[in-house]
A and B are shown apart, each in its own frame.
Chain A
Amino acid sequence: MSSIRVNPDGLSVLDRPNSYIGKTVPRPNLDRLLQGRGLYVSDIELPRMAHVVFLRSPHAHAKIVSVDAVTAKEMPGVIAVVTGKELGAVITPWVGVLSHLKGLKSAPQSAIAVDRVCWQGEAVAAIVATSRAAAEDAAEHVAVAYQELEAVTDMRTALDPATPVIHASLGDNLAFERVHDAGAVDQAFAVSDAVVEADFIFGRHTGVTLEPRAVVADWNAAEARLTIYQGTQAPHMVQNIAALHLGLREAQVRVVCKDVGGSFGIKVHIYADEMATYALSKLLRRPIKFVADRVESFNTDIHARDHRCKGKIGVKRDGTITAFEIDDLTGIGPYSMYPRTSAIEANQVVNLVGGPYTSKNYRARARVVFQNKNVMCQYRAVGHPIACSVTEGLVDLAARKIGMDPLEIRRRNLIADDAYPCASPSGLRFEQLSHHASLDKIVAMMGYDALRAEQATLRKEGIHRGIGIASFIEVTNPSAAFYGVGGAKISSQDGVAVRLDAQGSVICQTSITEQGQGSESLTAQIVGSVLGVSMDRVRVILGDTDVTPYGGGTWASRGAGIGGEAALQATKILRKNILDVAAVILQSTPAELDIVNNAIVNVSDGASRIELNELARIVYFRPDTLPPGIQPELMATKHFVPREYPFAFTNGVQAAWVEVDTETGFVKLLRHWVVEDCGTIINPQLVDEQIRGGVVQGLGAALFEKCIYDERGQLTNANMADYLVPMSGEMPDIDIGHVVSPTRESELGAKGAGEAGTAGAAAAVTNAVNDALSPFGTIITEIPLTPQVILTALGKI
């Protein structure tokens, strides 16, 4: 054994022999999913379980005059038909606001609509039956009389005096407004050599998790306990909210999260129909299962990104960016979502615009308005794609205006890699970013000059290819500043418990959750590395509020940075405890011993002294052989939350290489590159695949995905055939590189990587399309970049 250490605990785990940190190892337990032997909520069946189907409003806005369920209740297999008023006996309404988002308002929302529906798809009655098919049959016989009300659909006119106010008690349709003014913006524009403006339009889209949302709620009246099986990213949040609105103590609610068929932020919220399912279980005293069908998913899974943002940039002839200004408008549907609220995305846009650049002059306004459409809320990379597209679109426009290469203007304005710590004009504090190193790396990876040459050659042949660059920052590891300070019971800390079992294996319970990112793997890698045991000896348990420590879960790219550090710290304690008892057994000192490959070894010569399973045997079964007064603790628990910075920031840059067919308007993605700095990399393959998956979701937004509403608030493409998502044939290979600037907030140094791909993909593609179309003197600032949008810009239709 090589290294000799006086105090092994003083050394970073990254330096330990046989460390799994930084290594590509396959995720544990993948065979379960590969063999079709996982357990998704849609697979769960319980004794006496009944199925609920929701009858949903066909209108965007209407009064409910009456609900007649007499015939439906007589149908075979029907157990109950429950209206909003009836369900109100067991569950209270909620209001999706947070106190730190000053002025944010919303109206009380019920699990099932009472008196009025506010979007097409809002539930008006629950039909519970012995099978889903029976409930669907009966739903067709529930007669609801509606009186249609005028629907507010266009966010641009939502605040006009002539537009009806959706919730009279609120006075107007403005949910939230934030203004920010830093530096001297007017003065900066005045001294600029050029000022460029553009209107950016972002299509409303959604997450399309392949497994729709699903819940099985099981109220056991005899135990007075509710068990909720749900594919949620935040089990303790669900526990808190369910208890709060059902009048239970949290200890009466258990949330179990097994396999989850995709989440992406769609499953970090609590939806009215999920609340209704919990309540129905309590009301009917039996397990109730709800599985959304695809049409319901499109009509009720949160939408995101429906923004229109006016942007303005000032630039000097030498390329210096003088100021950014934005005016952002977004329509969030009729309610602010609960409990995370629907103001966060707009707030993030204000926070993030201009973030990678040195310019200190920044003015922003964001307004969030109500409409009679499905609710909007946080989806992967909340706000980032908008902020990045606006910022990077403006930077490219400025470069074009002064005749500068897009790389050059970025080099001249990106915050220098040695300028940290520093703060953005919106007040975000950056610990250490690496914009220039990232840019240099991506330029080398993509062979920028060769691509430019190829572009020029092909252009002569009438082939229009373009290069798009987008630098970005990404918020990760949020502290209580995100939700806790606003009054939401959403934990920003996470906890991990580790224990040595009687055969020398390690059981690890963590409060972060797994939806395919690799939470289980990264936890096992950290525990195995820190302790000195092989990964196959580490069993990780997640997703059960009865079992795991209390914590936030997996969202906002926080699993590795927060949950990973808790695992590291807990394992350090377990390691110390093991070495203490080993020293007693071996009549040595802890400093002379180490744990390597599942055994206690000498630090001096690496000789194996005692296997961990033998140590465990002594501790658990022959404690009588230990000296008096020795009580080993082979279990340790630690919690962690970053305290110095309210958020960690990662950074990176993406580049797209595209070809635009100017006859058909089709965009072909030829290649995509990403360089990302997520701090310490625990498993390179998992990080890369998070980025690739994220990029493709961003590419979907760039080219295909849009929830198309008509002026009456009807979603016209609520099925997978009409709502297009990226398919394998259209997607490019994606090359990924890394720069590593670990955060000093934790020993692990990981910052998180789940959302970076989504943050910058659309911006890179849009810039590339505009670059390809530069000979035509047209600029497109609208996504998705459908053939129609492109041909319209080219004046061909």
Chain B
Amino acid sequence: MTAAAAISLTVNGERVEAHVLPRLNLADFLREHLKLTGTHVGCEHGVCGACTVRVGGEIVRSCLMLAVQADGAVVETIEGLSDSGEIADLQAAFRDRNALQCGFCTPGMLMAAQDLLRENRTPAREEIREHLSGNYCRCTGYHAIIDAVETTARARMELKA
């Protein structure tokens, strides 16, 4: 077995030093080493989007990235985005619209939605549907999620205006 490698990164604003096996993926590192269980694992092969996190400001599937590749990176998970208040309005819109049932897809869905809203302030419904097309939700049928993202986009525009 290959020896553990030392990594140093920032996770949700905190410095993290760790020794990890080269094969350990970022999702498992976050969940098992740092106990950040808000990042979920639905497929472990890059399809479902449940493990979506932000690395260096871009969303990635943490099951497809190795922990060693995150050496030196700035990683943000749902716990970080929640505590910073960055997505408080989006979370409130999800709550009010019941845009989650079991909630297993929700952290990844919020990550992907916030990514869209940062890029495109006034996405059309179709664009929201497109952007979230890499995130499985087996419970909601998506309609409520699209509504919640649309509502948030509108509210943010009004706030700016």
Contacts and interface: CB of A to CB of B under 8 A. Distances in A.
Contacts of B105: 210
Nearest to A757: B141
Nearest to A266: B138
Interface in A317-374: none
B56 interface: no
B125 to A, nearest CB: 8
A516 B100 contact: yes
Interface string A687-699: 0010011111100
Interface stretch (A277-285, A566-574, A654-662, A726-734): A726-734
Given A26-B96, A516-B101, A720-B43, A210 B140 contact: no
Given A262-B139, A728-B145, A719 B77 contact: no
Contacts of B146: 728, 733
Given A210-B136, A262-B138, A725-B136, A35 B38 contact: yes
A440 interface: no
A294 B44 contact: yes
Contacts of A42: 37, 40-41
Contact of A689 (B23, B37, B110, B140): B140
Interface residues of B, number: 55
B44 A34 contact: no
B91 interface: yes
Given A30-B95, A516-B101, A685-B98, A727 B133 contact: yes
B40 A211 contact: yes
B98 A728 contact: no
A701 to B, nearest CB: 13
Contacts of B130: 728-729
Nearest to A209: B138
Contacts of B145: 728
A692 B141 contact: yes
Interface string B90-130: 01001111101111111100100000000000000100111
Interface residues of A, number: 57
B18 to A, nearest CB: 15
B22 interface: no
B68 interface: no
B103 A34 contact: yes
B41 to A, nearest CB: 7
B65 interface: no
B6 interface: no
Interface in B26-77: 31, 36-45, 47-48, 50, 77
Interface string A3-43: 00000000000000000000000110011111111111011
A515 interface: yes
B98 A210 contact: no
Contacts of A694: 141
Contact residues of B: prevailing secondary structure: loop
Nearest to A34: B91
B45 A721 contact: yes
B143 interface: yes
A26 B101 contact: no
Contact of A34 (B23, B43, B110, B132): B110
A208 B138 contact: yes
A40 B138 contact: no
A517 B98 CA distance: 10
A133 B23 CA distance: 10
B47 A26 contact: no
Contact of A262 (B23, B91, B104, B142): B104
B39 A36 contact: yes
B47 A35 contact: no
A264 interface: yes
Identify which of B95, B102, B144, B146 gathers the most chain A CB atoms within 10 Å of its CB: B102
Interface in A96-150: 133
A676 B43 CA distance: 34
Contacts of B82: 34-37
A686 interface: yes
Contacts of B95: 26-27, 30-31, 34
Contacts of A201: none
A269 to B, nearest CB: 17
B152 interface: no
A686 B98 contact: yes
A703 interface: no
A31 B83 CA distance: 12
A517 B101 contact: yes
A37 B105 CA distance: 13
A36 B40 CA distance: 9
A543 interface: no
A35 B98 contact: no
B79 to A, nearest CB: 5
Given A30-B100, A210-B48, A211-B104, A36 B79 contact: yes
A210 B47 contact: no
B78 interface: yes
A210 B79 contact: no
Contacts of A26: 95-96, 98
A293 interface: yes
A606 interface: no
A486 interface: no
A484 interface: no
Interface string A709-750: 000000000011100011111110110000000000000000
Nearest to A40: B104
Nearest to A736: B143
B102 A294 contact: no
Interface in A260-298: 260-264, 293-294
Nearest to A721: B47
Contacts of A133: 21, 23
Contacts of B129: 728-729, 731
Given A30-B95, A207-B138, A731-B142, A35 B104 contact: no
Contact of B138 (A36, A697, A729, A730): A697
Interface string A298-322: 0000000000000000000000000
B137 interface: yes
Contacts of B50: 210
A35 B140 contact: no
Given A36-B79, A692-B141, A697-B138, A720 B45 contact: yes
Interface string A25-67: 0110011111111111011000000000000000000000000
15 contacts: A26-B95, A26-B98, A34-B91, A36-B36, A40-B37, A40-B40, A42-B40, A209-B102, A210-B136, A210-B138, A293-B44, A719-B47, A728-B132, A731-B142, A731-B143
Given A262-B102, A515-B102, 5 more contacts: A38-B38, A40-B40, A211-B102, A686-B98, A719-B47
Interface of B: 1, 21, 23, 31, 36-45, 47-48, 50, 77-79, 82, 91, 94-98, 100-107, 110, 125, 128-130, 132-146
